[in-house]
Amino acid sequence: MKRISIKITGAQGQGINSVGELLAKGLKRAGYCVFGYREYMSLIKGGHSSYQLDVSDEDVRSTETEADILVCLDHYGLARDVGSVKSGGILLHQTPQWSFPPAMQERLQDKGVQVLYLPSEEILRSLKAKPILGNILVTAAVWRLLRHPADGLKELVRKQFGKKGKEVLEQNFACIDEGFKYVGQERDRVVLPPPNVQWKECLLLTGSQAMGLGIVHAGCRLYAGYPMTPSSPLLSFVADVQNETGMVVKQAEDEITAAQMMSGAMHMGTRAVTATSGGGFDLMTETASLNAEIENPAVFIVAQRPGPATGLPTWTAQGDLLLAVGSAHGEFARIVLAVSDAADCFSLMPEAFNLAEEWQTPVIVLTDKQIAEALFTQAPFGLPKTECRRGKLVVDPRKLARLRSDDRYDPHAKNGVSLRWLPGTKAATYCAQGDEHSADGTVDESAENMRLQMEKRMRKVEAIRKALPEPELYGGSSFQLFGVREDVSCDILLVSWGSNKGVILDALSELTTNYSLPTTHYLHYTYLWPLKTERLEKLMKKAKKIVLVEQNHQGQLGMLLKMQCGIDIPHKILKYDGRPFFIDEVTQRLIPFLQAKKLKS
């Protein structure tokens, strides 16, 4: 598989995102799979940020540490990021009269890096164009380096800025022509493989946008949130489409409010959601516990970033798995699941609501900064299969008429799930009681009742564990998804969850192409609590080695597995520096575990 990477760096607010998004869209429409990755600091302007696109004609779901083309919009990035160009790559910059220190100059020469200067200021001045058009100029230069015809870019610009009038459009086109002129004579250094039309029809969107679409698709009608990176882009997206969706979107006064509004709306009988990051979820946990006691469906989205405390607000982590599993006081059933990419973000949201309603208990959906803000090339979401399952919700008037108040929390209900019906429906009434209660919601402090109601609610745990899907197994020549009955023996089993899926599968493909490997499979946990271990236990009997991959310090999934079934995974690839796993990094760290041998090319 041939992949290339383009990295744009500069000061925040300088247009990195515009260049990145324009290039990404252009490349996707030209028939490439694009994976976009953003790094930025927790401030509005200034600071240093980057936007990287990894591009291929085949599926690409990860980022490389070094780029084939590095574009530096400012001199700070030029000095700082110069080391991240690959051998034989290109460095494009727009800083006049720039020269590297001699040692660096030599290193660049040794690496065969070509340094190109784009005199943007001069060109813009001669065109009498506004500084913002520098973004178009840079985009055009990169477009030319990739040997794409100008027409494609012009078409894209026409669609994007056509509404701003003829004059603006013509200035844009002039910039494209100039950008092309400046790099016109360079030889082909960075060559893309031939395009594949399958990507043209795909969507290019962030995990947050996919998750927002999933929420809308699920029939969720109220979103209550409080801004906190990296959950904020989800709030923004859902808010941006509210006039089309008719949803109620409430920016609440704090996370507790957001969680309570979601709970109230769910109790009344609609579907509602709240989203936050770890710190905000800390504030929501008392509400999670309340929902468990009143057996109210609830959906919390937790977008992870490094902690403790404010940690690194704009960077990524998987440090909140134990928080999700162990949060909130008292013992109760909760479901924890984690998305891994845009496809999951969309398709698991309806499932999260279904599970919340079927089991009448909190569902916590884990995502992270990497998923929330990465750009995915995603096949258009398949719509017909989605179900809306509402569990034991009674809505039929005849059935409602037969209900008794003490059906609501009937302690003898199968699997602990009793009938649920909604305020405002003509039936016997009950109290959704946060104190320990008897079957109709009457406060009951007796030992007998406490025991019965605890057992009722906790029966859900085992029943949920049985009902949830096993982790997914990927293997075979192209690391495709295996069916549950297809389990075959493997030498090495990798175990992970969340956003690591894409980079692990990309690394395994890369290793298979260039190395001789033992049979290696990847076991991906989507449903993390209650934890299923049967498939893992079966696979590990045959596997020679199991390797845990996580973005946290303790190997939290490993800890849960050990707690749940006594399995100890001694081999771990852990990362906790706020950066996601990069493909070359995972490849290098896997090699010793796999004892992979490089094939002769």
Partner 1 sequence: MKEYHCANQCTWCDGCGDYGIWTAIKRALSELGIAPWQALLCYDIGCHGNMSDKLLGYRFHGLHGRVIPFAAGAKLANMRVPVLAFGGDGATFSEGVGHLVHALRSNYPLTFILHNNGNYGLTTGQASAVTWQGQPMNASPNGIPEHTLNSMDFIFSLEPTFVARTFSGDIPHMTRIFKAAIEHQRHGFAFVDVLQACPTYNRFATHRYLLERCYDANAEGHDAGHFQKARARAMDTDKRIACGVLYQRTDIPNFYDRLVPRQGKTTMLVEEVDVVDIRALLKPFL
Site for partner 1 in 477-536 (CB under 8 A): none
Q: Which stretch binds partner 1 (CB under 8 A): 6-14, 252-260, 324-332, 364-372?
A: 252-260
Instruction: Work out which of 1, 116, 431, 574 binds partner 1, going by CB under 8 A.
Output: 431
- Which of 380, 483 has the CB closer to partner 1? 380
State which of residues 37, 430, 497, 582 lies at the interface with partner 1 (CB under 8 A): 430
Q: Please report the beta strands in 80-185, taking only residues with DSSP state E, as ranges in sequence order.
A: 85-93, 114-117
Does residue 203 bind partner 1 (CB under 8 A)?
yes
Return the number of the residue (435 or 462) whose C-beta is nearest partner 1.
435
Question: What residues from 136 to 175 belong to the interface with partner 1 (CB under 8 A)?
Answer: none
Distance CA 116, CA 144 (A): 13
Window 279-318: residues binding partner 1 (CB under 8 A): 286-287, 290, 294
Q: How far is the CB of 269 from partner 1 (least distance, A)?
A: 4
Q: Which residue's CB is nearer to partner 1, number 193 or number 264? A: 264
State how far the Cα of 601 lies from the Cα of 592, in Å rounded to an integer: 20
- Give the nearest distance from C-beta 51 to partner 1 in angstroms: 17
**42 touches partner 1 by CB under 8 A:** no
The answer to whether the beta carbons of residues 373 and 232 sit under 8 Å apart is no
Residue 561 CA, distance from chain mean position: 23
Minimum CB distance to partner 1 smaller for 212 or for 555 = 212
- The residue within the footprint of partner 1, chosen from 256, 312, 567, 574 (CB under 8 A), is 256
Q: How many residues form the binding site for partner 1 (CB under 8 A)?
A: 72
Name the segment binding partner 1 (CB under 8 A); options: 60-68, 198-206, 329-337, 495-503. 198-206
CB of 394 to partner 1, least distance (A): 13
What is the separation, in whole angstroms, between the first and last Cα of the chain? 14
Question: Interface with partner 1 includes 116 (CB under 8 A)?
Answer: no
| CA–CA dist 333, 212 (Å, integer) | 26
Residue from 221, 535, 572, 589 binding partner 1 (CB under 8 A):
221
Tell me which residues in 315-354 interact with partner 1 (CB under 8 A).
350
Nearer to partner 1, 158 or 538 (CB): 158
Q: What x/- string results for residues 373 through 412 when contact with partner 1 is judged by CB under 8 A?
A: -------xx-x--xxx-x----------------------
Q: How far apart are CA 434 and CA 290, in angstroms?
A: 6
Which segment (13-21, 150-158, 422-430, 534-542) binds partner 1 by CB under 8 A?
A: 422-430
Dist. CA 315–CA 312, nearest whole Å: 6
CA distances in angstroms from 171 to 130, 136, 184, 355, listed in the order given: 9, 10, 19, 53
If one asks whether residue 275 binds partner 1 (CB under 8 A), the answer comes out as no
Q: Which DSSP string corresponds to 181-231?
A: HHHTT----S-PPPP-GGGTTSEEEEHHHHHHHHHHHTT--EEEE---TTT
Q: Does 420 bind partner 1 (CB under 8 A)?
A: no
Select the residue interacting with partner 1 from 260, 367, 533, 587 (CB under 8 A). 260
Q: Which residue in the set 71, 137, 153, 222 belongs to the binding site for partner 1 (CB under 8 A)?
A: 222
Q: Which of 587, 581, 600 is nearest to 511 (CA)?
A: 587
Angle between helices 16-29 and 150-161 (to 10 degrees): 120
Q: Give the residue with the Cβ less far from partner 1, 96 or 382.
A: 382
Tokens of 57: 């004609």
Q: With H, G, I as helix, E, B as strand and everything else as coil, classify residue 465.
A: helix
CB nearer to partner 1: pick between 381 and 482 = 381
> d(Cα 255, Cα 276) in Å, to the nearest integer?
8
Q: Report the nearest approach of partner 1 to the CB of residue 122 (Å).
A: 35
To partner 1, the closest distance from the beta carbon of 382 in angstroms equals 11
Q: Residue from 63, 245, 367, 496 that binds partner 1 (CB under 8 A)? A: 245
Burial 22-52 (b: 16+ CB within 10 A, else e): bbbbbbbbbbbbbbbbbbbeeeeeeebbbbb
Q: What is the distance of C-alpha 548 from the center of its chain?
A: 20
Given 116, 168, 241, 565, the residue binding partner 1 (CB under 8 A): 241
Q: How far is the CB of 570 from partner 1 (least distance, A)?
A: 43
**DSSP for residue 29:** H
Distance from CA of residue 564 to its chain's centroid?
27
Residue at 317: amino acid letter? A
Please name the helix (run of DSSP H) or strand (run of DSSP E) that holds residue 517, with its range, or none.
Answer: none
The CA distance from 345 to 205, in Å, is 11
